[in-house]
A = this chain, B = another copy of it.
Amino acid sequence: MNTKVLLMLGILIWPFWAMSDELSSDSSECLDCHSEIHHGIVSHWKKSRHAKTSLAEALKKPPQQRRVSLAKAPEGLANVVVGCAECHTLNPEQHKDTFEHLGYSVHTVVTPKDCATCHPTEVKQYSQNLMSHAYVNLMNNPVYRSLAESSNSVQSLEDTETSFKDPDELTNAGSCLFCHGTVVEVKGTVVRDTIVGEMELPVLSGWPNQGSGRINPDGSMGACTICHTRHQFPIEMARKPHTCSECHKGPDVPAYPVYQVSKHGNKYSSLNSKWGFNTVPWTVGKDFGAPTCAVCHISLVVNEAGDVVAERTHRMNERLPWRLFGLIYAHPHPTSPDTTVIKNRAGLPLPTELTGEPVSEHLIDRKEREKRRQTLQNVCLSCHSSGWVEGHWTRFENTLKTSNEMTLTATKILLRAWDKNVAKGLAQGDSIFNEAIERKWTQQWLFYANSTRFASAMMGGDYGVHEKGRWHLSTNIQEMLDWLEFKTGE
């Protein structure tokens, strides 16, 4: 075999990253082992934009087309593609999960603070997003935490009642915190046999997890990977509704099932194979024929002339005046993403009174609501006349009102049950979520009112009627009344 043939053969078996002069030597060393032991991860990454583009290249694009938001590439990161080491060895001193790994200071959990190296604007916006506080707002609010725990507890039969054992960490992590995020901490180390011999590796609590408000070992909150799926991080996927469906599918936040049966969802399901999901900015009509979740709530959207229809935001409620998600009533969005600061007049950490009045000092005012409404409606007006949009909006806000009224009626029945001592509630210092009548009350606002509202907001037809909506909102009240009659004999 002559030299020429050997050279050609060498090129053929040369791994593609070795041909690039842009992969850092650190990442190259990672791949030496990990392309074998985590071949799937490496395959995904090879298909990613990270694997192909250096920051310097990314910054050459016109601002509207950029996917990075820093002004200038930091020393050392500018001219390499984003490989393993570029993320997993960032900010080692801030990462309590940093461990010594064959001469490198590596951490497992890549966090928003790490991603902010190239995407600072998005991370800053996200830190103002309710989603980044999903753990804190659930677990540090005694009312909501009690709801979570009453659902996750193991019950044991004792005489005529059951006792509730506080849920263990594993159950919480697989239940509410799957979406809300866990607390990830180093809880020890373990020695494993690997292809390069014994190795000491950290053991993490609350791991794996990609919840939106995950508490990370570097103190940051959130997991970008919940939407930007590792290790390919395809914008196509983040823009498709299936990503949102991972958390917004159940009867409490049924955005996805409502979308599916809406006209928008129908267009997506029927025609999306002909749409473009990878261009930045994203053009109405040219790239897509109907909004996905990202179009209305997040993405930078332009028209065919290049005019901005909506600016990109990772603080989703910039386009949302109302918080549909009743806690326990629908209400204007809170001013702070940390809702644990809210107290109502009764001293409860709720954004409304138990009877529905909003705790205004912690919620956005009319002017801010108006601004957000216009921001969202600007997207609608791409394809709908002002008469259409206003007609829809009037109907939607009326749904907030009537679903709140139906929640109030259920609340009055529960208050009567407590008052008549057939159930134990606030006055008795008991959980307000552990008895059958309390569960019915919770379902009224958490399942049926929410489903009715999401169906109204996104035009989801029957989902808001027979599937999980008005029919159940209405039937549930009659069942609560019957329960009260049976218990009180009145």
Contact = CB atoms under 8 A, between A and B. Distances in A.
A481 B464 CA distance: 29
Interface in A180-208: 190, 192, 201-204, 207-208
Interface residues of A, number: 129
A251 interface: yes
Contacts of A156: 405, 409
Given A151-B474, A162-B409, A208 B270 contact: no
A289 B44 contact: yes
A39 B392 CA distance: 20
A214 interface: no
A229 to B, nearest CB: 6
Q: Which of A176, A412, A462, A477 has the most CB of B within 10 A?
A: A462
Nearest to A171: B402
Residue from the set A42, A381, A471 with the largest chain B CB neighbour count within 10 Å: A471
Interface stretch (A51-59, A73-81, A235-243): A235-243
Given A439-B475, A462-B179, A265 B242 contact: yes
Given A41-B383, A247-B462, A466-B251, A208 B483 contact: no
A170 interface: yes
A466 B250 contact: yes
A478 B423 CA distance: 12
A173 interface: yes
Interface in A460-490: 461-467, 469-471, 474-475, 477-479, 481-486, 490
Nearest to A435: B478
Interface stretch (A125-133, A256-264, A313-321): A256-264
A43 B246 contact: no
Contact of A269 (B171, B190, B242, B289): B242
Contacts of A150: 474
Interface in A390-411: 391-392, 394-396, 398-399, 402, 405-406, 409
19 contacts: A37-B381, A39-B382, A40-B303, A40-B383, A43-B286, A43-B289, A154-B405, A160-B485, A170-B395, A175-B469, A178-B461, A202-B387, A234-B270, A242-B260, A243-B270, A245-B261, A245-B266, A249-B461, A434-B478
Interface of A: 36-44, 46-47, 108, 150-157, 160-162, 168, 170-171, 173-176, 178-179, 190, 192, 201-204, 207-208, 210, 229, 232, 234, 236-237, 240, 242-243, 245-247, 249-253, 256, 260-263, 265-267, 269-271, 273, 284-286, 289, 303-305, 381-388, 391-392, 394-396, 398-399, 402, 405-406, 409, 412-413, 416, 434-436, 439, 446-447, 455-456, 459, 461-467, 469-471, 474-475, 477-479, 481-486, 490
